[in-house]
Structure 1
Amino acid sequence: MDVCLGRRDMVVKHIQRKLQEKSEKHTAELHKLGLIAAKVELPPNVHVLPSTPQFLGMNTILQSPETQQDDFVFYFDRLASILIERALDMTQYIPTSVETPQGNKYLGLNPLGTVSAVAILRGGSCLETALKRSIPDCITGRVLIQTNDASQEPELHYLKLPPRLEEHTSVLLLDPQMSSGGAALMAVRVLLDHGVQESRIVFVTCAAGETGLKRLTAVFPKINVIVGRIEEEGEPRWMEKRYFGC
């Protein structure tokens, strides 16, 4: 019995050591990416919304601690709708023509295929109201990625993706805030592992740190990123708490 317990302890310690080595390697790689990112400009596939008076006004309301939750949700949904509509500019379309009620021909565009979305829980759910207003029949999926407090590594806890996701022409990846980029990196990796082409992924976020954006696009240079504003480095997540009231 003592021999069995000793062997089990050895196995447990071996696994713990390997996990610790993996954690240290991951942290070192993120740090290395941060050093590289600090030396480069934001690439052209990062699309920051212009700071129009309307956009600045909505962000002022959202940032104010005096804003009531009902007002916060209303203006957040407005801002999120702008982000989703901008993301749809990144999807693929094909030329088409229709006959108007006046009998004229209108040359326009139709979506090339299916546009779906995957929300990074729980924050990504904040963007789904705006998503459904823009694409009422949008197919959606979920991933739950949380940061381990001890290792500061992102961990995948839940995954539910739409069937045949790899056949969709565009997949919107939704998360209202991004700091280090760890969760976004893992979420994109999950989509790639399920057959989604990198160039078909559009990451949508209301606010992101510049270093996190550079890390994400350094690892995945073919994705498009739609971001509302660049926030201070290391800003804690707060949008989903204000949105859901808890």
Structure 2
Amino acid sequence: MGSSDLCDLGLKISDLKCEVEEDFGPNLKILPTNDQVKELQTILRDRNTTRSDFKFYADRLIRLVIEESLNQLPFYKSVVTTPTGARYEGLKYQKGNCGVSIVRSGEAMEQGLRDCCRSIRIGKILVESDVDTHEARVVYARFPEDIADRKVLLMYPIMSTGNTVIKAVAVLKEHNVLEENIIVSNLFCTPFAASSVISAYPQMKILTSELHHIAPNHFGQKYFGTD
């Protein structure tokens, strides 16, 4: 069914989004869609976007995705005293969070995380695909020593097949990170990748800005100026 068919049926984008979320289960979260988010997604997909504009608008979308990813982390109630002496009942993050970026494109999301959590620790995983078999293999991994006790934001902007993320999560689990303590922070995801990752790790959360059958695979080259 095409987009025109959906319009004929009177379906809204928000209705379609809920339908997709239900199909893939409750652990797939999609950034709330509005005109601003759609504009950012459009700019990043446009082949005529300059590199400086691409990086600027990518950073804006990254910030929105990181902020929403942080909403998936646990909080606890906290009471503070204001400068006027009043009591305020609020919330604070539970300690024990960290980020892990999948090199290289995932590194584009590191600054957005640091802008939100200034002292957060960030590890790295380098996953490469075999030219002939396309099988993913881990080349390098560096994590905080106590990562097994932490909630992990796994940052990777583009998921086309899900193979890279599946391999990266396998490495995290080898370091005793619980599957339910991992949140994948992602910009663009295909339905195929979502299905593959969720099938492999059903307890893990995924936060993305968009599910679409075509992923902007030029993201890393354009962002870092290597295209």
TM range (shorter): 0.7 to 0.9
Q: Within 5 Å, give how 1:101-116 maps onto structure 2.
A: 101-116=83-98
Q: How far 1:216 moved relative to its partner?
A: 0.8
Name 1:156's counterpart in structure 2: 138
Aligned CA RMSD, in angstroms, stands at 1.4
Structure 2: how far apart are the matches of 1:186 and 1:67? 32
Residue 142 of structure 1 is aligned with which of 124, 127, 134?
124
Q: Which residue, out of 106, 110, 133, partners 1:124? A: 106
Contact 2:190 2:213 (C-alpha < 8 Å) held by counterparts = yes
The match for 2:222 is: 242
* 1:84-123 per-position Cα deviation (integer Å, ceiling 9, x unaligned): 1111111111111001122221111111112101111111
> How many residues are aligned here?
205
Match of 1:214 in 2: 195
- Which sections of structure 2, spanning at least 5 residues, go unmatched? 1-21
Inter-partner Cα distance in structure 2 for 1:154 and 1:54: 35
Query: Which residue of 2 is the match for residue 14 of structure 1?
Result: none
Cα offset for 1:67? 1.7
Matched residue, 2:154: 173
Per-residue deviation, 1:236: 6.3
Report which of the two structures shows the higher radius of gyration computed on alpha carbons.
Answer: 1
Whole-angstrom CA distance in 2 between matches of 1:227 and 1:236: 14
Decide whether the 8 Å contact of 2:101 with 2:155 is kept in 1. Answer: yes
> Which position in structure 2 is the counterpart of 1:12?
none
Conservation of the 8 A alpha-carbon contact between 2:188 and 2:216: no
Deviation at 1:73, TM superposition (A): 1.0
Q: Could you say which residue in structure 1 is the equivalent of 2:81?
A: 99
Amino acid of the structure 1 residue aligned with 2:167: M
Alignment of 1:59-78 (within 5 A): 59-78=41-60
What is the TM-score when the length of structure 2 is the normalising length?
A: 0.86
Measured in 2, the distance between the counterparts of 1:226 and 1:188 equals: 15
* Equivalent in 176, 181, 185 of residue 200 of structure 1: 181
Q: Which amino acid aligns with 2:69?
A: A
Letter in 2 for 1:82: L
Unaligned runs of 5+ in 1: 1-39
Structure 1: how far apart are the matches of 2:149 and 2:35? 39
1:195-246 Cα shifts (integer Å, max 9, x gaps): 111111000110011111111111211111000111225x462111110110
Residue identity opposite 2:172 in structure 1: L
Larger relative helix fraction? 1
Give, in angstroms, the shift of residue 61 of structure 1: 1.6
State the 4+ residue runs in structure 1 displaced beyond 4 angstroms. Answer: none
SS at match of 1:159: strand
- The share of aligned pairs that are identical, in percent, is 28
TM-score of the superposed pair, with normalisation by structure 1:
0.80
Letter in 2 for 1:125: E
